[in-house]
Amino acid sequence: MTHISRRRLLQGAGALAVGSVALPGLVRAQSKELVIGCAGSHTAWMEQIVAPHMRETIGAEILFEGTKSSVNLEKMASNRSNPYLSVVQMDDPVMIQAVEEELLRPMNRSAVPNLADLREGTIHMDGMWANYVQPWAGVAYNTNARDGVASWSALWSDEAKGKVIIPSLQNTEGMWTLFAAAMLATGKPFSEAQYETDAAFAKLEELKPNILTTYSIMSQAFNLLEQGEITMLSGNFSSYTLPRKAEGVPVDLAAPKEGIFAMPSGICLVKDGPNPELADAYVNEMLGADLQAKIAEFATSVPANTKVDAGSIVPSGVPIHSPDWAFVSSNRREWIERFDKLMAG
């Protein structure tokens, strides 16, 4: 039997420890790998569509970190001196905060030529970020309990007592209920009502008897809608509800007559992020017609690229509203605190 001396054992253990720490780093340095921050609800199509596409077209292995926009922002801010994310996909109001905190690198058309094909209004703040696809948002409802949701006022109706869940203002989709409250309280169109914050909160207070809870994690709330425990889930969006409907779940997304909202899904480059050229190539592919068509179909969303036909994804005859995100961004913290106190209890 061969005896292993203590010295040799220690040497072996040391080499193993150094190897286990250093080798992944070496492998990573040699591979074309990109770490992308994205929304948790996008994980399905990011894995099924984007990852294989990027492997094939730009030869990159994509690692996703699916979470909320605000968490992505915090990750970027916390790792400002040594970023590990190359590209982040998050919502417009959070993009504004990221620009204010100087966390983004602007995109330019020479490195991202597909920017030239995007719809008007989808490139923001001189190319700091662009909207790549836009799901539309309305009111999700259980089809066993209702025939539809004709108006946003249905959320306030007597028969909806205890049967409604609304998103927290911590979530971007939470803004839609706030704006709907402002619109109903003032009688003004969304474009004007969005600035009537006090009226909106007063109207939200009237909604409290109907609210079962507010959420910051959507999955549980949506599950209750599917089970019929609630009849309406306010502010939900096409990329979440319509794929579930297609799977045969008794839910649908209503477009109330007063209007629906365009979800502000944006893509940006992280300042000083690793593999900058590869990051440019990734964004360019994300904005290209081929991938846009696939994502738009999978996520039931409006493509940003004008070369892709939007088809019948958006309901016709209903106005689509895009809010003043700069106004939202500058007031959001105060609104969150106010909302939490209003809904407490």
Partner 1 sequence: MSAIRHPISGTPPRRIGTLVDKTALLAGPGLLYLAVLYAVPLLLLLLQSFRSDDGGFTLVAYTSFFGDTYNLEVLARTLRVAFLTTLLSLAVAYPTAIAMNRAKGIWLTVFLVALVLPMSLGVVVKAFAWSILFRSNGALNQTMESLGLIDAPIRMLFTETALVIGAANVFLPFMVLPIYAVLRQQDDALQHAAASLGASPVFRFFHVSLPLTLPGIVAGAAFVFSLSISMYVIPSLIVGETQQTLPMLIARSFLYLRNEQLGSSISAILLIIAIAVVLFSSWLAARLGAKE
Interacting residues toward partner 1 by CB under 8 A: 68, 70-71, 73-74, 97, 162, 165, 168, 170, 211-217, 219-221, 223-224, 227-229, 332-333, 336-337, 340-341, 343-345
AA letter at 56: E
Distance CA 135, CA 69 (A): 16
Whichever of 86 and 214 has its CB closer to partner 1, that residue is 214
User: Considering the complex, what minimum distance in angstroms separates the CB of residue 214 from partner 1?
Assistant: 4
Whichever of 211 and 291 has its CB closer to partner 1, that residue is 211
Beta bridge partners of 318: none
Q: Residue 295 to residues 29, 232, 286: CA-CA distances in angstroms?
A: 30, 27, 9
Whichever of 95 and 133 has its CB closer to partner 1, that residue is 95
User: Considering the complex, what minimum distance in angstroms separates the CB of residue 217 from partner 1?
Assistant: 6
- Of the candidates 135, 162, 160, 134, the residue with the CA atom closest to the CA atom of residue 149: 160
Whichever of 21 and 344 has its CB closer to partner 1, that residue is 344
Whichever of 80 and 333 has its CB closer to partner 1, that residue is 333
Whichever of 167 and 273 has its CB closer to partner 1, that residue is 167
User: Considering the complex, what minimum distance in angstroms separates the CB of residue 94 from partner 1?
Assistant: 10
Can you list the positions of beta strands (E) in the chain?
33-39, 61-67, 87-91, 104-105, 123-124, 129-131, 133-134, 136-142, 164-167, 211-215, 232-237, 251-254, 260-262, 265-270, 302-303, 320-321
User: Considering the complex, what minimum distance in angstroms separates the CB of residue 201 from partner 1?
Assistant: 15
- Of the candidates 79, 132, 84, 130, the residue with the CA atom closest to the CA atom of residue 101: 79
Residue in the block written with tokens 């004008």: 306
User: Considering the complex, what minimum distance in angstroms separates the CB of residue 223 from partner 1?
Assistant: 6
Whichever of 194 and 231 has its CB closer to partner 1, that residue is 231
Question: Could you count the other beta carbons within 10 Å of the beta carbon of residue 2?
Answer: 3
User: Considering the complex, what minimum distance in angstroms separates the CB of residue 96 from partner 1?
Assistant: 12
Q: Report the DSSP pairing between strands 129-131 and 123-124.
A: antiparallel
Beta bridge partners of 67: 39
Whichever of 171 and 292 has its CB closer to partner 1, that residue is 171
User: Considering the complex, what minimum distance in angstroms separates the CB of residue 12 from partner 1?
Assistant: 18
User: Considering the complex, what minimum distance in angstroms separates the CB of residue 81 from partner 1?
Assistant: 15
Distance CA 304, CA 123 (A): 10
Q: Residue 167 to residues 70, 175, 300: CA-CA distances in angstroms?
A: 15, 8, 21
- Of the candidates 245, 242, 241, 264, the residue with the CA atom closest to the CA atom of residue 320: 264
Whichever of 183 and 211 has its CB closer to partner 1, that residue is 211
Distance CA 238, CA 139 (A): 10
User: Considering the complex, what minimum distance in angstroms separates the CB of residue 341 from partner 1?
Assistant: 5
Beta bridge partners of 39: 67
